[in-house]
Amino acid sequence: VGLLATLDSLRRRFSDDNLTEKKLSIRIPNSREKSFWRGKNPKVARYFAFRYRGLQAILGDKVELDFGKLMEFYFPQTDHDLA
């Protein structure tokens, strides 16, 4: 609910005329670095990863989610040739 309320609040602040690119990017700064995740609470990170796992598919291509290495830690990509 918090993410959706934030998106709604941002959307109400701007009209389509103000937007040059109609795409929303949500990212965690420095999250591509392993060092960023050291010292973070692993239980909270795991909860966040599982909670928002399918969100990109639901939101579509007009919203970009970049949580860095978070998803790689909990949902590693397998090589389709090996599966």
Rounded Cα distance, 56 and 26, in Å: 10
What's the pLDDT score for residue 29?
92
What's the pLDDT score for residue 1?
60
Which residue shows structure tokens 């937007």?
A: 19
Read off the pLDDT of each residue in 51-76 and give the average, rounded to a whole number: 85
What are the residue ranges spanned by the domains of the chain? Answer: 19-83
Residue 47 sits at the vertex; the CA angle it makes with 1 and 72, to the nearest 5 degrees, is 115
Residue, of 3 and 58, whose pLDDT is higher: 58
Model confidence pLDDT, tens digit, residues 17-61: 777 777 888 888 999 998 898 889 989 988 988 888 888 888 888
Amino acid identity for residue 43 in this structure? K
What's the pLDDT score for residue 30?
93
Read off the pLDDT of each residue in 55-69 and give the average, rounded to a whole number: 88
What's the pLDDT score for residue 4?
77
